[in-house]
A and B are shown apart, each in its own frame.
Chain A
Amino acid sequence: MTTNLFFQQVANGLAIGSVYAIFALGYTLIFSILGIINFAHGAVFTLGAYFTFTLTGTAFGFNGLLAQQKLPFSLWFPLALLGGALLAGLISVIIERLAFRPLRRRGADSLLTLVSSLGLAVAIVNIIQFLVGAEAYSYPSSALNDILTPFLFLFPDGKVPLALRVPLTEPPIIVRMVQVVIFATSIFILIALTYLINGTKVGKAMRAVAEDATTSSLLGISTDRLIQFTFFLSGFVGGIAGVLVGMSVGITGPYFGIAFGLKGLAVIVLGGLGSIPGAVLGGLVIGLGEALVPAEYIGYKDAVAFAVLFIVLLIRPQGLLGRVFIQKV
């Protein structure tokens, strides 16, 4: 691998890895509070992408119940993104109500909740297909320009270039602008979430519920409401992740989020279950690992994520930054 290619792939790996990280954060938030993986998170990611597409006022394709339909209005892309993420958060709250809360009330085994969330994910994916068909969609070409509105002054002709040339090596590294947006948004979300969890009242309460739900109740923290808020947050961030990937490679169909769902599992197990810095590190390691697979073995790219996971777990069963759980008898 030449130096140029190496740095090129590092840039690609950081962009995709940062999406893995914020996707996995959705898992992590819920896992740290409930100790359960929300298998419907991949579907929420998909919905975020589709909702945003809908809100841009673009017409759907030729298949499905909503064929050729579009909204009577069209939102400026950043607003559509915000709306799509909010709706994804709302769906996530509904998922909690349908697939999690009833089972929690009955004290069901967490394995059952896992299955019920998986069932809901399958239902959501099929509803999407029923409504808008299985074809790929892409966002309006103005999306990138719109999202970078506050930074337009940086570009001489007031238009965002599709790619930046970073002259670190010869020939220069080409970084697609959308990758810059993905990376920057992900970092922003990570910082905002870290602040929320460590620096605000609701974040401290979330950590309290995660550590000891009963004691939190004794302090007057409504655990149900906190769990609901956590699902909203997870869905909101997951929705944004869906839109970011949609901007980069298009919305590839209703199964869009499923591959991320599996990759996200590898990410959180690698980073350490329930650890936020772990999810970030795990996402970046897997993103970089995939990107650095030599071109002739590109077909084995997905195997790399799981091979990395396998090796790390042999050495550190609790994941890179995971806590060792001591079972007290």
Chain B
Amino acid sequence: MSQTTPALELKNLSVAYGAIRALNDLNLTVDKGEIVTLIGANGAGKSTTLRAISRIVNPSQGQILIDGQDVTRQPPDAIVRMGIAHVPEGRRVLARQTVEDNLFLGAYVRNDNKAAIQGDIHKQYERFPRLRERRTQLAGTLSGGEQQMLAIARALMSRPRILLLDEPSLGLAPLIVREIFSIIRELNREGVTILLVEQNAQLALQTASRGYVLEAGDCTISGPASELARDERVRKAYLG
């Protein structure tokens, strides 16, 4: 174990929706520069974990630490300001605004000048040339893959240190999935720490260095991705 403070740490985190417990006592760390994945079936609590980190759901118990600092009671905008960006499940682009305005709003928390933000928008266009072609189009008219690219590009506009990705492969053609995942790896090489939630466990474990398996709100197994990929229980349940 490294001695440095983890970029993100969850301590005994629990979330309940009314009487239903969605997440029980999760302990998780993500070190700086890592890709960590959360895998598990539908409803296992993966998205809930990300939503709790972004503070759009309230934990019923436990702590969320960013760089060792307790942010459990901070509002969602403070979390973004601390360098966490969340690419939500189902992309959730702002369908009634243009591609460029979506990117512009991704930089909402930044106070630097317009030129710097414009510069970053152009960087995103270089990374995702298809977004440049569609810059004046309403985001709702994009294809699923393009929307996923826009959701990632929009998240990057806040210049995050940690990226939370929720099911980036959902509903996309295999070719597009490969493209998206190569971009995820590229971002990680550029220094972005990544917490990846994915139903496609095989792909997730190929991409991540470590993983956690959630089952009905409980973390049952965790460890290096290569070990999880060989684990008999994981193979049976998620890798087919």
Residues 203-254 of A contacting B (Cβ, < 8 Å): 204-205, 207-208, 211-212, 214-222
Answer yes or no: A201 CB below 8 A from chain B CBs: yes
Bin the interface of chain B by size. Answer: 20 to 34
Question: Which residues in chain A, 286-317, are within 8 Å of chain B measured between CB atoms?
Answer: none
Q: How far is the CA of A220 from the CA of B109 in the complex (A)?
A: 6
Cα of A220 to Cα of B97 in the assembled complex, Å? 17
A220-B101 in contact (CB<8A): no
| Stretch of B87-95, B141-149, B181-189 at the chain-chain interface | B87-95
Q: Given A220-B76, A221-B77, A222-B75, verify A215-B108 contact (CB < 8 Å).
A: no
Can you list, as one digit per residue, whether each of B63-96 has a CB less than 8 Å from chain A (1) or not (0)?
0000000000001110111000110100010111
Question: With contacts defined as CB atoms under 8 Å apart, how many contacts are there between chain A and chain B in the complex?
Answer: 61
Question: What does DSSP make chain A's interface, helix, strand, loop or mixed?
Answer: helix
Tell me which of B56, B77, B94, B106 contacts A222 (CB under 8 A): B77
Give the shortest distance, in Å, between A89 (CB) and chain B (any CB). Answer: 23
- Decide if A211 touches B105 in the complex (CB within 8 Å): no
Partner of A211, one of B88, B97, B104, B154: B97
| Contact B96–A211 (Cβ < 8 Å) | yes
Also in contact, A217 and B54, with CB within 8 A (given A211-B97, A212-B94)? yes
Residues of B within 8 A of A211 (CB): 94-97
Interface residues on A, range: 10 to 19
Known: A219-B158, A220-B109, A221-B108. A214 touches B56 (CB 8 A): yes
Contacts of A205 in B (CB 8 A): 105, 108
Which A positions have Cβ atoms within 8 angstroms of B? 201, 204-205, 207-208, 211-212, 214-222
Given contacts A218-B76, A220-B109, 16 further A-B contacts (CB under 8 A): A201-B108, A207-B94, A207-B97, A208-B97, A208-B105, A211-B95, A211-B96, A214-B88, A217-B54, A217-B55, A217-B77, A218-B56, A218-B80, A219-B154, A220-B76, A221-B108
The 9 tightest CB contacts between A and B, nearest first, are A220-B80, A220-B109, A217-B76, A220-B77, A215-B92, A218-B86, A222-B77, A220-B108, A219-B108
